[in-house]
Structure 1
Amino acid sequence: MTNSIPEIENNDLLFVIGSNTKENHPIVALRMIKAVRKGAKLIIADPRKIPMVSFAHIWMQHRPGTDVVLLNSMMHVIAKEGLVDRSFIEEHTEDYDKFVKVLDDFTPETGEKITGVPKEKIIESARLYARSDKAGIYYTMGITQHSHGTDNVFSIANLALMTGNLGKEAAGVNPLRGQNNVQGSTDMGCSPDMYPGYQKVVIPAIRARFEKEWGVKLSEKAGLTAPEMIDASGGEFKALYVMGENPVMSDPDMAHTKKALNQLDFLVVQDIFMTETAELADVVFPAVSFAAKEGTFTNTERRVQRVRRAIIPPGESKEDSWIIMQLSGRMGYEMKYSAMNEVFTEIGRMWPALAGINYTKINKTGVQWPCPTLDHPGTPYLFKGGFPRGKGRFTPVMYRESAELPDDEYPLLLTTGRQLFHYHTGTMTRKVKPLNTVAPEAYVEINPEDA
């Protein structure tokens, strides 16, 4: 999130797109509802009538996969009616003229034809968003989990840039993370093209810094994404090490995933339960839950928080860090950390945004990065006064249809979502009897006419 969770209550307008907030992020949803009760306007863009629709002033029920058209059509209205923040654009952005030309093709009429949203709603939503002083955009995987998910995110960023809704309180672009440390994992380089701190693998100077710190030669190439790794299994990949993930259940094609994993020469799974993926493994490392770990989590608002061990690891289970260090040592690379705070200190050395954070400073409430020095209080919202790269860049985005569309053989479109009572593949929540009592099974919602 560019902004903070408490700021939600001070929004003049909330634009929620691709997020079933009340079920996926119920605490965030409560703050949104408080904002509405204080007078904020709420726009929902979602193909499904999610619970938050009952609090919305406008619900745009667009066809799945047409987010770019919907957003571009809104921006067309904003540009044509002169509702852009001209001073912000001139002072803090670049490539606006190139970007705005693309919007000519996305009239509200075109938007209605492709998305199914009446043009009147597109126009009203655009005006409401652009005329609000503090407008925040909130999204989740309904935006990102597409074959063109990156385009969707660029479009959201364009909308915020053209209206000056970045770099100020109670505004911004706010992806709501799915678990307690999703933000922390991406911060620490769990993207195939990044080192910790979003530092690109392919930049020689950055790579040299990490080579010096770690004392090893690092690859010049970016790694593969999770779907690419599954596709490479049994071919380019002979072995796979899966940690805290259950791709047999979470990947879109179970048959394809199981076939790929079974073609591997060697599969290792590290998890706290015997998942469907672990059942295919040659070796299973028993890990521990959060309750038996030491370290930090970073939540959706970039708040670095202390995690303390509350229970003794059960049975033969071990902390993830212990397993990784033991395995690394036996493969010839010794990691000489005696405690997790030593790892955190190294992170601060290699990523300036965390240089001013230590375990003492985050003892109780945590600190939001960037926090470059020990006397820095942390950063509730990003980009105050400008962007790290100098200026924010507009990215022209054209509409691309989804990779898979209904046809004569498969005439219906299925879109997946979450339940309030269960999480992801149910690895943890399906072990909880009260949750299973309330929500014992998954279900499909279908239009009565289709049924």
Structure 2
Amino acid sequence: MTNSIEEIGDSDCIFIIGSNTTENHPVIGTYVKRAKQKGAKLIVADPRVIELANKAEVYMQMLPGTNVALLNGMMHVIIDENLQDNDFIRDRCENYHQLVDIVKDYTPERVEEITGVSADSIRKAARLYATSEKASILYAMGITQHSTGTDNVYSIANLAMLCGKLGKDGCGVNPLRGQNNVQGACDLGALPNVFTGYQPVTSAPVVEKFEKAWGVKLSDKPGLTVSEMMKSAHEGGIKALYIMGENPMVSDPDTKHVKESLEHLELLVVQDIFLTETAELADVVLPASSFAEKDGTFSNTERRVQRIRKAIPNVGNSKADWEIIVDLMNKMGYESHYNSVSEIFEEIASLTPSYAGITYERIEETGIQWPCPTQDHPGTKVLHKESFSRGKGLFKPVAFQPAVELPDDEYPIILTTGRNLYHYHTMTMTGKTEGLMNIAGENYIEINPINARKLDIESGDFVKVISRRGAVEVKALVTEIVDENVVFMPFHYAIGSVNMLTNSNALDNITKEPELKVSTVRLEKSEIKKPKRVENAS
């Protein structure tokens, strides 16, 4: 996030796109509701009528995969009506004229044809965002999990710069991370092209710095993303894979392809706290400790580095992740010894400029937001206040490109995926909680009443959902939350898994992120019968 969570509660306008905030990020959702109670205006763009859509001044029910067109349409209106922040553009941005050239063709009427959102709603949303003093954009994986995910993010940044809503309190471009330490994992180099603090592996001085610190020769070539790893394993390129705290047999697209890829490996090692669907395929399972059994730090969605503390003894033979990794390094010939997690953090700070001023003593009670370059620096609440990291902000205008898979006669319905309130990721933990399973114990598909009537389907009936990659049978939930010819399934469930249906070949050109939010399917009424209701005897 460029800004901070608490600022959301003080925003005048909040634009939520590609995020079901109250279900996926319920704590942050309370800040949105608090802002609304204080008079903030709310804009929501989502294929489903999520809870916040009913509270919005403008709700735009868009077709999945049409984010760039919608955002270009809003920018067209802002420029056409001279609502842009000309001073901010002149002083702090470049490449503005190219943006004008691209978005001039995205009239609200043309965008309505692409997105299904009315031209009037596009105009209203654009005016509301542009004229609000403190306007914040919140987004999540409804933006990034597309073959055009990078273009979607560029477009959000373009909109914020166009209106001068960066570097100011209550504003910003604020991606909401999907899990509690995703930000920290990325910060510390769990990406194929960077070391810690996003220092590129292709930079000779950076490589030299880490080689000196670690006493080894390092590659200057970027590694593979998850989707590229699976493809390589399937083709026999990768021979061994070490998976930590991840369950791709449920979370990754095209489960059949994932299973075949993992089975092609000569060695699969899984490190986790439970025997997941992925761990069941492993040659070796390393039992790791949960968050409650270890010390360390998490870096949350607002860049805040926070302490976590061991609350209970380790269960069984489990170890903290860092202890397992150090043991492996030593057994594989790299001598490495740490006496505590604080020693590891000291090394992180010494090599990572954005973390350089953070110490365990400073975050004993309250976390610090990076960048924090020195130990007398308070941390950074709002990014880009004076300038952008590259100097001037670069407009990166993009034209709309449709999703890779579009409806046709054989697969006429768009399938989109997401989460629900009751489960976390692939249910590794929540699936073992009786109360949650009583509420949401099996997978389902949301179907518009018009599509349901065509198949004579009622809520509770089983439906066969078929894509080019597979088929599953799940219960129907007939609802107007989704539009006609759009269906939704959560991805949490291993039984009736939606990722049996999704596409592993539709990837973003830059990030290689799969297009999980847009696949095409057809529906058939299942032979599985709805359980009969049994009346209590009186």
TM beyond 0.5:
yes
Deviations along 1:106-140, whole A, 9 cap, x unmatched?
11111101000000100110011001111000000
Deviations along 1:243-265, whole A, 9 cap, x unmatched?
00000000111111001100111
Task: Please say which of residues 27-36 and 328-337 is displaced more in the overlay.
Answer: 328-337
Matched AA of 1:224: L
State the match for 1:199 in structure 2. Answer: 199
- Counterparts of 1:266 and 1:352, CA distance in 2: 36
- Counterparts of 2:396 and 2:72, CA distance in 1: 12
| SS of the residue 2:428 aligns to | coil
Matched AA of 1:129: Y
- Counterparts of 1:117 and 1:111, CA distance in 2: 7
Q: How far does residue 354 in structure 1 lie from its aligned partner after superposition?
A: 1.1
Give yes or no for the alignment of 1:394 onto 2:395.
yes
The within-5 A match list for 1:405-444 is 405-444=406-445
Give yes or no for the alignment of 1:285 onto 2:289.
no
State the match for 2:132 in structure 1. Answer: 132
Give yes or no for the alignment of 1:45 onto 2:32.
no
Q: How far does residue 396 in structure 1 lie from its aligned partner after superposition?
A: 1.6
- Counterparts of 1:123 and 1:214, CA distance in 2: 55
State the match for 2:368 in structure 1. Answer: 367
| SS of the residue 2:447 aligns to | coil
Q: How far does residue 46 in structure 1 lie from its aligned partner after superposition?
A: 0.2
State the match for 1:156 in structure 2. Answer: 156
State the match for 2:174 in structure 1. Answer: 174
State the match for 1:326 in structure 2. Answer: 327
Matched AA of 2:168: K
- Counterparts of 1:210 and 1:158, CA distance in 2: 35
Q: How far does residue 405 in structure 1 lie from its aligned partner after superposition?
A: 1.6
- Counterparts of 2:78 and 2:422, CA distance in 1: 39
Deviations along 1:261-311, whole A, 9 cap, x unmatched?
001111000000000000000000000100011110011111100011111
CA root-mean-square deviation = 0.9
- Counterparts of 1:88 and 1:187, CA distance in 2: 29
Give yes or no for the alignment of 1:11 onto 2:11.
yes
The within-5 A match list for 1:309-348 is 309-348=310-349
Gapped regions of structure 1 (runs ≥ 5): none
- Counterparts of 1:281 and 1:88, CA distance in 2: 54
Gapped regions of structure 2 (runs ≥ 5): 453-538
| SS of the residue 2:150 aligns to | helix
- Counterparts of 2:79 and 2:196, CA distance in 1: 38
Matched AA of 1:250: S
Deviations along 1:188-226, whole A, 9 cap, x unmatched?
111111111011111112111111111111112111111
Matched AA of 2:261: A
Q: How far does residue 381 in structure 1 lie from its aligned partner after superposition?
A: 1.0
The within-5 A match list for 1:159-308 is 159-234=159-234, 235-308=236-309
| SS of the residue 1:233 aligns to | helix
| SS of the residue 1:63 aligns to | coil
Task: Please say which of residues 61-70 and 438-447 is displaced more in the overlay.
Answer: 438-447
Task: Please say which of residues 400-409 and 157-166 is displaced more in the overlay.
Answer: 400-409
Q: How far does residue 335 in structure 1 lie from its aligned partner after superposition?
A: 2.0
- Counterparts of 1:348 and 1:120, CA distance in 2: 51
Q: How far does residue 99 in structure 1 lie from its aligned partner after superposition?
A: 2.2
Matched AA of 1:171: C
Q: How far does residue 160 in structure 1 lie from its aligned partner after superposition?
A: 0.5
Matched AA of 1:18: G
| SS of the residue 1:269 aligns to | strand
Task: Please say which of residues 384-393 and 36-45 is displaced more in the overlay.
Answer: 384-393
| SS of the residue 1:43 aligns to | strand
| SS of the residue 1:159 aligns to | helix
Task: Please say which of residues 408-417 and 135-144 is displaced more in the overlay.
Answer: 408-417
State the match for 2:92 in structure 1. Answer: 92
State the match for 1:57 in structure 2. Answer: 57
- Counterparts of 1:269 and 1:133, CA distance in 2: 49
- Counterparts of 1:155 and 1:326, CA distance in 2: 45
| SS of the residue 1:10 aligns to | coil
- Counterparts of 1:70 and 1:236, CA distance in 2: 40
- Counterparts of 2:410 and 2:133, CA distance in 1: 48
Task: Please say which of residues 296-305 and 90-99 is displaced more in the overlay.
Answer: 90-99
| SS of the residue 1:91 aligns to | helix
- Counterparts of 1:50 and 1:365, CA distance in 2: 33
Q: How far does residue 347 in structure 1 lie from its aligned partner after superposition?
A: 1.3
- Counterparts of 1:98 and 1:336, CA distance in 2: 54
Task: Please say which of residues 390-399 and 271-280 is displaced more in the overlay.
Answer: 390-399
Matched AA of 1:410: Y
State the match for 1:144 in structure 2. Answer: 144
| SS of the residue 2:44 aligns to | strand
- Counterparts of 2:28 and 2:142, CA distance in 1: 17
- Counterparts of 1:243 and 1:353, CA distance in 2: 25
| SS of the residue 2:7 aligns to | helix
Deviations along 1:129-157, whole A, 9 cap, x unmatched?
00111100000000001111111001000
Q: How far does residue 60 in structure 1 lie from its aligned partner after superposition?
A: 0.3
Task: Please say which of residues 12-21 and 372-381 is displaced more in the overlay.
Answer: 372-381
Scaled by the length of structure 1, the TM-score of the pair is: 0.99
Scaled by the length of structure 2, the TM-score of the pair is: 0.83
- Counterparts of 2:326 and 2:341, CA distance in 1: 12
- Counterparts of 1:403 and 1:346, CA distance in 2: 44
Matched AA of 1:63: L
State the match for 2:120 in structure 1. Answer: 120
- Counterparts of 2:81 and 2:386, CA distance in 1: 27
- Counterparts of 2:284 and 2:322, CA distance in 1: 17
| SS of the residue 1:36 aligns to | helix
Q: State the 4+ residue runs in structure 1 displaced beyond 4 angstroms.
A: none
State the match for 2:447 in structure 1. Answer: 446
Matched AA of 1:386: S
State the match for 1:350 in structure 2. Answer: 351
- Counterparts of 1:334 and 1:152, CA distance in 2: 44
State the match for 1:381 in structure 2. Answer: 382
Matched AA of 2:41: K
